[in-house]
């Protein structure tokens, strides 16, 4: 089987483009912490309740989920998916 001269450079270029795309992320502001866009710029913007833990421990933010009465979201400062749990105190 005959190898092409461009195979290795092409693979390297594709790998570099993929790595740059993964590192750049989807940040929309100078600090890289921008939120994703919201359709029509409408959303529930009340502040979250934040529990600060000592250094080296993740902080936790929680609030009722807008548009989903009876549910509360929990988010951490670590790379983890938000957790949404039923909460009867969250009214519509």
- State pTM to two decimals: 0.54
Per-residue b/e over 44-83, b at no fewer than 16 CB within 10 Å?
eeeeeeeeeeeeeeeebbbbbbeeeeeebbbbbeeeeeee
pLDDT at position 56 is: 86
Please give the torsion angle defined by the CA atoms of residues 13, 18, 23 and 29, in that order, rounded to the nearest 10 degrees: 100
Mean pLDDT of the chain: 76
Count, in order, helices (H) and strands (E) of the chain. Answer: 1, 4
Residue 69 has pLDDT above 70, yes or no: yes
């Amino acid at each position: 089987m005959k190898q092409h001269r461009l195979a290795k450079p092409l693979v390297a270029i594709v790998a570099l483009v993929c790595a740059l795309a993964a590192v750049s992320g989807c940040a929309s502001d100078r600090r890289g912490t921008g939120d994703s866009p919201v359709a029509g710029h409408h959303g529930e913007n009340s502040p979250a309740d934040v529990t600060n833990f000592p250094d080296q421990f993740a902080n936790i933010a929680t609030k009722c989920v807008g548009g989903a009465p009876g549910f509360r979201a929990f988010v951490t400062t670590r790379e983890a998916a938000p957790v949404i749990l039923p909460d009867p105190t969250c009214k519509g």
